[in-house]
A and B are shown apart, each in its own frame.
Chain A
Amino acid sequence: NAGVTQTPKFRILKIGQSMTLQCTQDMNHNYMYWYRQDPGMGLKLIYYSVGAGITDKGEVPNGYNVSRSTTEDFPLRLELAAPSQTSVYFCASRANSNQPQHFGDGTRLSIL
Chain B
Amino acid sequence: AQKVTQAQTEISVVEKEDVTLDCVYETRDTTYYLFWYKQPPSGELVFLIRRNSFDEQNEISGRYSWNFQKSTSSFNFTITASQVVDSAVYFCALSERSGNQFYFGTGTSLTVIP
Q: CB distance A45 to B101 under 8 Å?
A: yes
Q: CB distance A90 to B104 under 8 Å?
A: no
Chain A interface, DSSP helix/strand/loop, else mixed: strand
**Which residue from A48, A88, A102 sits with its C-beta under 8 Å from B100?**
A48
Would A98 and B97 be within 8 Å (CB), given that A103-B44, A105-B44 are in contact? yes
Interface residues on B, range: 20 to 34
Within 8 A of B (CB), among A63-82: none
For the complex, give the distance between the alpha carbons of A102 and B35 in Å.
Answer: 12
For the complex, give the distance between the alpha carbons of A45 and B91 in Å.
Answer: 14
- CB-defined contacts of B43 to chain A, threshold 8 Å: 88, 105-106
Q: CB distance A100 to B104 under 8 Å?
A: no
Pick from B11-19, B45-53, B64-72, B74-82 the stretch touching chain A: B45-53
- CB-defined contacts of B107 to chain A, threshold 8 Å: 42
A selection of 16 A-B contacts at a CB cut-off of 8 Å is A41-B106, A42-B106, A43-B91, A43-B104, A48-B101, A58-B101, A92-B45, A97-B95, A97-B100, A98-B97, A100-B47, A101-B47, A101-B93, A101-B102, A103-B44, A103-B45
Given A42-B106, A43-B91, A100-B47, output 13 extra A-B contacts at Cβ < 8 Å: A31-B100, A33-B102, A45-B101, A90-B45, A92-B45, A92-B102, A97-B100, A98-B50, A98-B97, A99-B50, A101-B35, A101-B93, A102-B47
A interface residues (Cβ-Cβ under 8 A, vs B): 31, 33, 41-43, 45, 48, 50, 56, 58, 88, 90, 92, 94, 97-103, 105-106
B interface residues (Cβ-Cβ under 8 A, vs A): 33, 35, 43-45, 47, 50, 52, 91, 93, 95-97, 99-102, 104-107
